[in-house]
Amino acid sequence: MTTSKYIIVVLTFFFLTSCGKTIRLANKDFRWIPYKGNETLVFNSNTGDTDTIFLTGTKRYTSPTDPLDMFPTNLEYFIISSTRSDPSPPSGNHRYLDRSIFVELSASEQKNNSFLSFELTAKDAWYYGSNHYWSSKEIDTLKGQVLQTKLKIYHDIIVVIPDSDEYIDRSNYLTKVYWSKSEGLIRYDKKDNVYWELTKKYSP
């Protein structure tokens, strides 16, 4: 390849890669992330059962909003992964499954905004609604409710109700999730008056 052609190739590559933009998460976007990513969350039910969610690490990456766009906008994501109980294990035998996402924070094309979401499955429990998303601006304005558990009293609880009742006939259907703005998942309720509360949260 001649020098002139090489220069053209380099300049073309530089042009293509520089035309797309990347929107990254700001430090303030992490104010509603209540986990470091290595915690163990122990829950107990009002029927005397115990279940544990193991947070297994964090990851940051960027992804294009439209992969087919020649000059896509790339958004940055931060996820916390986990290992948790299979909500519908074969033959009813308990087992743990690796799940890719427990909490996700994503940058936004909206100025000074980001989005926080969670996924929840646990022992005989499944949040069947679409992954719940809050914008950071929305969380800032939400007034937290008070919830008293055996562990402590929380003053910043957001109650999340599934947006779909498609699977309401299933025994593991969750009717409510209680999320603390500062501490994360605190409680979840089932339709059969069984509920689970966080009783211990610790890091190695």
Nearest to 19 by CA among 79, 64, 56: 64
Q: Where are the domains of the chain?
A: 3-202
In this structure, the strands spanning 21-23 and 73-85 are parallel
pLDDT of residue 130: 73
Give pLDDT, residue 131.
Answer: 63
Note the pTM of the prediction, 2 decimals: 0.85
Instruction: Please give the pLDDT value at position 129.
Output: 80
pLDDT at 161: 92
Q: Which burial class, exposed, middle or buried, applies to 67 when counting CB atoms under 10 A from its CB (0-12, 13-18, 19+)? A: exposed
pLDDT at 18: 47
Structure confidence at residue 133 (pLDDT)? 76
According to the model, what pLDDT value does residue 13 have?
46
**Cα distance between residue 190 and residue 162, in whole Å:** 12
Q: What is the pLDDT of residue 114?
A: 94
Residues with Cβ < 8 Å from 94, sequence gap 6 or more?
85, 86, 123
How far are the Cα atoms of 66, 116, 137 from residue 147, in angstroms, in the given order? 41, 22, 23
Which portions of the chain are predicted below pLDDT 70?
Answer: 1-20, 67-68, 131
Kindly report, residue by residue over 113-138, the tens digit of the pLDDT. 899 999 999 999 999 987 677 888 88
pLDDT given for residue 174 in this prediction: 95
